[in-house]
Structure 1
């Protein structure tokens, strides 16, 4: 690649999708935790509608979406970031105080979490780690970016 070549434009994070063991229970959990709204109709799986469907949740303020998938032939068991596939999903927040606000919110909901972890290694950031009903690791993440 030469200095005159550039990659195509990249926008912001749009959505993530996870296969879940109980799509309705997971949808209710994500709606409660993130305050997202369910798209009224389920989405058939792209290019394989007979294999299952997804329930899609959207945050109207940010446009972030979460797809929760049910597969007809899925293999159940808790998510494990040590297996090949998804390690975790991280949601950025604009201030360090927002991480603490999320910790308080999760406490009110009775959801176990790591607490706000501040570190300088390898760069300064703060992360709050918790897990969904299928053990998918989620993070609330703050990193001060220079102007």
Structure 2
């Protein structure tokens, strides 16, 4: 392998992640209710395959990142599985261990099942709260102690 002749181009930040849902409307409503995301007022076609479905982009209003939730006509309705090729899980950072407890309470109020906050030191110290969206996609909130 030869050494690169130029520096890696810059990345300016996280923009969005796209996921596929079995029920677009139910997933959009869930992400609005649970994470406070706000949908843009238009849908996005699958460019080059417009007949295959479309997406709704939901923005996190304070930070500007987004989740695109896609509907695919050919989706057989199979739930997400981290054991299959593709996205294993998605995680967000929180500022403190106490924030994880607050999130656990929030998820309880919203009727969202979760695994409770787990504190571990293996392979490094961190705390995590694991929950799943309506299509079984694993979502995590993580705190790394300073």
TM-score by length of 1: 0.91
Which aligned segments of 4 or more residues in structure 1 are displaced greater than 3 angstroms?
1-6
User: Does the residue aligned with 2:116 lie in a helix, a strand or coil?
Assistant: coil
Question: For residue 66 of structure 1, what is the aligned residue in structure 2?
Answer: 67
- Please list every run of 5 or more consecutive structure 2 residues that lacks an aligned counterpart in the other structure: none
The answer as to 2:12 corresponding to 1:8 is no
Distance 1:67 1:93 in 2: 22
Q: Which runs of 5+ in 1 are unaligned?
A: none
Superposed CA RMSD in Å reads: 1.7
Counterpart mapping for 1:1-147 below 5 A? 6-145=7-146
CA distance in 1, matches of 2:8, 2:97: 32
SS of the aligned residue for 1:77 comes to coil
Q: 1:82 to 1:8 in 2, by over 3 A?
A: same
TM-score by length of 2: 0.92
Q: Deviations for 1:17-70, whole angstroms, at most 9, x for unmatched residues?
A: 111100001100000001111100111113322211001100110112011100
Which structure has the highest strand share of the two? 2
Q: Secondary structure at the match of 2:9?
A: coil
